[in-house]
């Protein structure tokens, strides 16, 4: 037809809006991927963190994602680079092997101690031979410094019993050793009044298994320097438990220590069991400061001397207190007047030998029975 026109072939419609939309989506996806990677990296860097959005990385890192695992991983290179430190750590935590030599080891340690200062001669009753001997064991060193330091510096001849794991335990143990005092570990043990009365860190409890008792005893012994022997802190329940006490006393025998039974319970088996094991041991005779007053302490010192004059020796136990310090400091003249020597507790130990019991005493024929000395 002459009047009609064919539509012109123009350019196809523009696709630019579609391309822009796809580019925008791609950009968003790239930004989101970077964002997720950033969040993942930040979370992974936190303590205990783990990758959140990348499972492959999570599987690769799960073995080291916890603080403990990371600490172990960090420790490995140091351990291989410092074999000496590792050897020392292993030696400190390994089960110690010690030869049993209690009486000889105590004598050796006393001989190796620094000589006492000249003021210590005050406890001797002049040139005359003493008619009796007493020992004064002062418990609970470690809590405070001032009174404890004065006791160590001024009270010649006392024996110093130090609680483990306290602020001043090590320093006071060193100071007592330097001034020629016997140093004891005041070993915390469970009382019948627990938990009302807490024996403190490092305490031994009846419910502990033998390995736990052994570990705690060794740790406590390592917490006080220059220890010659051990006496119980509290312990009115534990010292009546034969199983637990035997575990402790065997360890003391292996280490060459002595045991002083503080007798905080009438049913304590400590001294009897120590004697049966051949461990050097002793028993407390008098508590000198159940009343925290100077006159009362002096009266108890008089009682202690009276026991010593009857038996030839006696052991008193006191505590780190001002009244106890003043009473003992003022009592040296009385000791000299009564010819009683104040000596280290290690000089008053009993080392009962095992003795043979004859058949007449109840042993089967053809055998020898060993009794408790």
Mean pLDDT of 108-115: 68
Cβ(260)–Cβ(283) under 8 Å?
yes
Determine the pLDDT at residue 129.
85
Q: What band does 31 get if pLDDT is binned at 50, 70 and 90? A: confident
Determine the pLDDT at residue 27.
74
Question: What's the rounded Cα separation, in Å, for the pair 255 and 217?
Answer: 11
Annotate 190-226 with three-state secondary structure. CCCCCCCCCCCCCCECCCCCHHHHHHHHHHHHHCCCC
- Tell how strand 355-357 and strand 183-189 pair up: unpaired
Question: What's the rounded Cα separation, in Å, for the pair 277 and 253?
Answer: 8
Helices 322-329 and 146-154, axial angle in degrees (round to 10): 10
Structural domains in the chain, sorted by start? 102-355 (3.20.20.370)
Lowest mean pLDDT: which of 5-9, 230-234, 265-269? 5-9
Q: Is the pLDDT of residue 285 over 80?
A: yes
Determine the pLDDT at residue 36.
65
Determine the pLDDT at residue 110.
66
Other C-beta atoms lying within 10 Å of the C-beta of residue 259: 29
Q: Is the pLDDT of residue 88 over 80?
A: no
Determine the pLDDT at residue 24.
74
Mean pLDDT of 340-368: 60
Phi, psi of 139 (to 5 degrees): -90, 170
Element holding 108 (H helix, E strand): helix 102-112
Cβ(301)–Cβ(279) under 8 Å?
no
Question: What's the rounded Cα separation, in Å, for the pair 168 and 144?
Answer: 7
Determine the pLDDT at residue 170.
98
User: Residue 331, SS3?
Assistant: coil
Mean pLDDT of 90-111: 55
Tens digit of each residue's pLDDT (9 = 90 or more) over 212-248: 999 999 999 999 999 999 999 999 999 999 999 999 9
Answer with the residue of higher pLDDT: 289 or 115: 289
DSSP summary character for residue 29: H
Q: Percent helix, strand and coil across the chain, each rounded to 5?
A: 50, 15, 40
pTM, entire model: 0.67
Determine the pLDDT at residue 205.
98
Instruction: DSSP for 47-81, please give it.
Output: TT---SS-HHHHHHHGGG-SHHHHHHHHHHHHHHH
Answer with the residue of higher pLDDT: 202 or 116: 202
Q: Is the pLDDT of residue 97 over 90?
A: no
Q: Is the pLDDT of residue 367 over 50?
A: no
Mean pLDDT of 140-161: 97
Angle at 155 between CA 351 and CA 121, to 5 degrees: 75
Mean pLDDT of 125-148: 90
């Amino acid at each position: 037809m002459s009047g009609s026109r064919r539509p012109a072939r123009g350019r196809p419609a523009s696709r630019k809006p579609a391309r822009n939309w796809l580019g925008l989506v791609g950009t968003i996806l790239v930004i989101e991927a970077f964002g997720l990677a950033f969040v993942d990296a930040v979370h992974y860097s936190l303590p205990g963190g783990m990758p959140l959005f990348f499972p492959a990385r999570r599987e690769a890192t799960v073995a080291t994602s916890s603080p403990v695992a990371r600490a172990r991983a960090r420790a490995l290179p140091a351990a291989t680079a410092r074999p000496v430190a590792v050897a020392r750590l292993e030696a400190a935590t390994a089960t110690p092997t010690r030869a049993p030599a209690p009486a000889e080891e105590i004598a050796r340690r006393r001989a190796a101690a620094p000589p006492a200062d000249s003021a210590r001669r005050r406890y001797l009753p002049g040139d005359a031979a003493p008619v009796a001997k007493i020992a004064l064991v002062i418990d609970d060193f470690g809590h405070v410094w001032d009174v404890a330091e004065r006791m160590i510096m001024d009270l010649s001849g006392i024996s110093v019993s130090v609680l483990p794991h306290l602020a001043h335990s090590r320093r006071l143990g060193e100071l007592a050793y330097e001034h020629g005092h016997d140093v004891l570990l005041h070993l915390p043990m469970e009382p019948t009044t627990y938990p009302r009365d807490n024996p403190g860190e490092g305490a031994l409890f009846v419910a502990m298994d033998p390995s736990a008792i052994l570990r705690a005893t060794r740790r406590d012994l390592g917490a006080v320097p220059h220890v010659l022997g051990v006496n119980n802190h509290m312990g009115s329940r534990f010292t009546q438990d034969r199983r637990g006490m035997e575990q402790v006393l065997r360890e003391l025998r292996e280490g060459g220590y002595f045991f002083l039974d503080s007798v905080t319970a009438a049913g304590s088996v400590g001294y009897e069991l120590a004697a049966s094991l051949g461990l050097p041991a002793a028993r407390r005779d008098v508590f000198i400061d159940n009343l925290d007053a100077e006159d009362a302490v002096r009266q108890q010192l008089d009682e202690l001397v009276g026991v010593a004059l009857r038996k030839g020796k006696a052991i008193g136990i006191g505590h780190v207190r001002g009244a106890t310090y003043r009473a003992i400091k003022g009592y040296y003249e009385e000791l000299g007047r009564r010819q009683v020597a104040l000596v280290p507790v290690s000089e008053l130990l009993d080392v009962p030998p095992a003795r043979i019991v004859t058949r007449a005493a109840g042993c089967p024929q053809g055998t020898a029975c060993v009794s408790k000395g």
